[in-house]
Every structure is written in C-alpha cells, then in structure tokens.
C-alpha cells in the first residue's frame, strides 16, 4: 500500500532529478507554484493532503520522466544524503572562501546534509533577506554546483571581481557580456562585462 510520505518523497526526488525546487517543478508543470510545497501536504486541521493524479501526470510530462521511473522513486525510499559545505550568503562575497574558479576552499564553512548531487565540489548557500523573493526566501538553502554545465534559463550564482554575489537567471552569455534576469520583479535585470565576472555557477537544488 502506498503511503503519503512515499508519494511526496517521489515528487521531491523528481524535482531534484530535474534540478528544481518543489515550487519550480509545479510552475514548470503549469500548476500553482505552491502545489508541491511542504506546507501544502498537511491540511490546517492535520489531515494528509495527497497530490492529484493530474498534477503528478503534468510533473512527469514537464520533466520528461516515465511512469516506470516515478514508480522506482516511490519504491526506493532510501534517499542518499551528501554533507556539503554551508556558507551564509552574506559571507560569500568575502575573500578566502572560494578559489578563482568558484570552488569552495579555506576554513569557516559549516556543513549541512542535503540530497546528493553529482559534483564533489558542490556547496550550499543560505539565503539572507528578501531580495530574491518569490523564488528564494530568507532562510532557504540553495545547492550550488561549480562543476555543472550552465545553459540559458538556468538559475546561477555570480560573483564579480569587486566581491558582489548575486543570484539571477542566465538570459544570455557571450565572450563579452553576461545577461542576467532578476528573480525579483522589483529588481532590474543586469548586464555584466565578462571580464568583471570572477565566477559563475549553477544552482541545482533549493530547499522550500
């Protein structure tokens, strides 16, 4: 018999496999962004709320995942967890935490256990403030993979040579400039001269 936790864990694994948060998966599936959020899984009076068959089908279609793969997610309840270095977002602009390629180095990192990613250099940043709402809120944790390829439309962390660290969506990248779209409508998009970028890395997972 299927359990409530098995179904929701399978959806979480589906989102992780696609490099998405739960809300991003729902949005890509054409659903309300809160459809798969953890706060929606239990009703205010304590009853378990199950995802609808339609919402699961849309999530599978949006990620190009077969039903067989989703069933495997349900059956394999043992989720691998990886301890990754954790740094506060406000500290990320300081020197000594990253090398020139954007790989984590030095001391002062905490550790946090999060879903495993295929990058031994992956690390976590804890969001501070509300400048990245509604995509990321204060206290959310994002996993950054400096070893992952970056494509147009990916959410990325960018550090400039003057120490500014920002999270945006990559619109366009050429040899001369990097065009970034803001995640918060209240903030303007950015165009940064490529020679002023110290490093850029892809976000592969986010807590919600």
For this structure, is 40 an active site residue? no
Cα(191)–Cα(75) distance, rounded to whole angstroms?
45
Which of the residues 27, 58, 159, 168 is marked catalytic? 168
Cα(202)–Cα(192) distance, rounded to whole angstroms?
17
Residue 117 has what pLDDT? 67
Cα(70)–Cα(13) distance, rounded to whole angstroms?
9
Residue 195 DSSP label:
G
Q: Could you give the dihedral angle defined by the CA atoms of residues 11, 15, 55 and 51, in that order, rounded to the nearest 10 degrees?
A: 30
Residue 78 has what pLDDT? 46
Contact 30, 58 (CB under 8 A): yes
Tell me which residue of 189, 196, 147 sits closest to 170, measured CA to CA.
189
Q: How many residues does the chain have?
A: 208
Locate tokens 């599936």: which residue?
29
For this structure, is 168 an active site residue? yes
Asked: is 4-79 a CATH 3.20.20.80 domain? The reply is: no
Contact 123, 201 (CB under 8 A): no
Which of the residues 131, 133, 171, 182 is marked catalytic? 131
Domain positions in the chain are 4-79, 84-206
Contact 85, 123 (CB under 8 A): yes
Nearest 5°: the CA angle 74, 22, 138 is: 140
Average pLDDT of adjacent 10-residue blocks, the chain of 208 residues: 82 88 92 88 84 95 91 68 81 86 85 71 88 86 90 93 92 95 91 95 84
Residue 118 has what pLDDT? 67
Which fold does the domain 84-206 belong to in CATH? Answer: Umud Fragment, subunit A (2.10.109)
Q: How many other CB atoms sit within 10 Å of the CB of residue 185?
A: 8
Cα(15)–Cα(142) distance, rounded to whole angstroms?
14
């Amino acid at each position: 018999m299927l359990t409530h936790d098995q179904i929701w864990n399978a959806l979480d694994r589906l989102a992780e496999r696609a490099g998405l948060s739960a809300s991003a998966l729902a949005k890509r599936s054409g659903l309300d962004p809160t459809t798969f959020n953890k706060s929606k899984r239990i009703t205010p009076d304590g009853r378990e709320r199950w995802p609808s068959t339609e919402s699961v089908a849309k999530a599978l279609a949006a990620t190009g995942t077969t039903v067989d793969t989703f069933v495997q997610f349900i059956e394999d309840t043992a989720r691998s967890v990886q301890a990754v270095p954790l740094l506060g977002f406000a500290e990320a602009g300081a020197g000594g935490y990253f090398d020139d390629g954007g790989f984590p180095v030095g001391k002062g990192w905490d550790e946090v256990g999060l879903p495993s990613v295929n990058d031994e250099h992956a690390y976590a940043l804890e969001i501070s403030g509300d400048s990245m709402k509604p995509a990321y809120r204060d206290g959310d944790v994002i996993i950054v993979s400096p070893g992952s390829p970056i494509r147009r439309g990916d959410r990325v962390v960018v550090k400039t040579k003057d120490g500014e660290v920002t999270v945006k969506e990559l619109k366009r990248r050429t040899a001369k400039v990097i065009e970034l779209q803001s995640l918060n409508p209240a903030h303007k998009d950015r165009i940064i001269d490529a020679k002023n970028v110290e490093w850029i890395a892809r976000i592969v997972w986010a807590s919600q």
